[in-house]
Amino acid sequence: MTSTQSVTPTSHHNDIALELCELSRVFKLKRGLFSAPGEFKAVDKVSLRIRKGETLGLVGESGCGKSTLAKMLLGLLEPSSGNVLINGKEVDPGQRRALARHIQPIFQDPYSSLNPRRSVADIVGVPLALHQVGTPQEQQRKVREMLDLVGMPERTHQQYPNQLSGGQRQRVAIARALVLHPDILICDEPTSALDVSVQAQILNLLLDLKAEFGLTYFFISHDLGVIEHLVDRVAVMNKGSLVEIGTREQIFERPKHPYTRMLLASALTPEPGLGVPDITCETIA
């Protein structure tokens, strides 16, 4: 098991895979014709570090800024202020292609994240073609190897996404994310569109791949059971700000912030007889 010490400012820079420094994103809201435009702080001065080989979980409710944060890490959205460092180097938001070598996404919905008009092998081959890695023969070989690794049998390689189940589609999305051998995977709710029996298969696959490639995961989820199972450290977000960050034990055993406590209290574990928790008292906190 990976050590769960929290990262201290003295940590050596070589150990840090991903660092966010006061990252913010403000959306301008148009109001009336003459009134001044309003502002909505989707992400407000979020700073955190993820060590190499670590899994950091990010939890929070819808609208708390989780996905905006993920988009900024992937270079899909420009930060309003603050910066992102990958392996100690600052990232230029204009350099999406260079960024993609290091950081790749897996999205929630495997039904909309795969191009329906391309075969499985083509989908996984796109990053290799875009980045001009090797000859076409080498690319084909890499695609085959990667699909084998994620558990896609040979006969599915020429199929189209609509012929696959949800779990298989998510396997294809994982193969596409890994084919360039990135250091960091941003997993944005990768199993919440799947049934629980399939979710377990995908979580096992993510654990195996991490062990094989020494990957660093930034794992976004609203499912606290999944977060507790998978991560070394947890960051809790509410209304655009990071309210608490700590090791799995710190967050799950000794949560400090009232919002973290409320989130933990409202999780429904499959234990009959406990009833539904009453969380109204702390709701407005």
Which residues lie near another protein (CB under 8 A)? 1, 61-62, 165, 167, 195-201, 203-204, 207, 222, 224-226, 228-230, 248, 252, 262-263, 265-280, 283
CB of 166 to another protein, least distance (A): 8
What are phi and psi for residue 172, nearest 5 degrees?
-65, -45
Task: Decide whether 143 or 224 has the Cβ nearer to another protein.
Answer: 224
C-alpha triplet 105, 85, 71: angle, nearest 5°: 35
Q: Which among 203, 184, 202, 205 has a CA at the least distance from the CA of 54?
A: 184
Cβ density class 188-215: b for 16+ within 10 Å, e for less: bbbbebbeeebbebbbebbeebbeeeeb
Q: Which among 237, 236, 188, 193 has a CA at the least distance from the CA of 67?
A: 188
Task: Decide whether 113 or 168 has the Cβ nearer to another protein.
Answer: 168
CB of 11 to another protein, least distance (A): 22
Using an 8 Å Cβ cutoff, are 24 and 222 in contact? Answer: no
CB of 171 to another protein, least distance (A): 12
CB of 157 to another protein, least distance (A): 18
Q: Look up residue 146 and give its two tokens.
A: 């990667």
Q: Which among 269, 245, 268 has a CA at the least distance from the CA of 50?
A: 245
What are phi and psi for residue 198, nearest 5 degrees?
-80, -35
CB of 31 to another protein, least distance (A): 17
Task: Decide whether 7 or 198 has the Cβ nearer to another protein.
Answer: 198
Using an 8 Å Cβ cutoff, are 13 and 64 in contact? Answer: no
Task: Decide whether 61 or 122 has the Cβ nearer to another protein.
Answer: 61
Task: Decide whether 35 or 283 has the Cβ nearer to another protein.
Answer: 283
Q: Which among 200, 259, 194, 188 has a CA at the least distance from the CA of 229?
A: 200
Q: Which among 96, 91, 11 has a CA at the least distance from the CA of 50?
A: 11
CB of 123 to another protein, least distance (A): 20
Task: Decide whether 8 or 283 has the Cβ nearer to another protein.
Answer: 283
Task: Decide whether 91 or 230 has the Cβ nearer to another protein.
Answer: 230
Using an 8 Å Cβ cutoff, are 102 and 86 in contact? Answer: yes
CB of 266 to another protein, least distance (A): 4
Give the total residue count for the chain.
285
CB of 135 to another protein, least distance (A): 36
Task: Decide whether 33 or 274 has the Cβ nearer to another protein.
Answer: 274
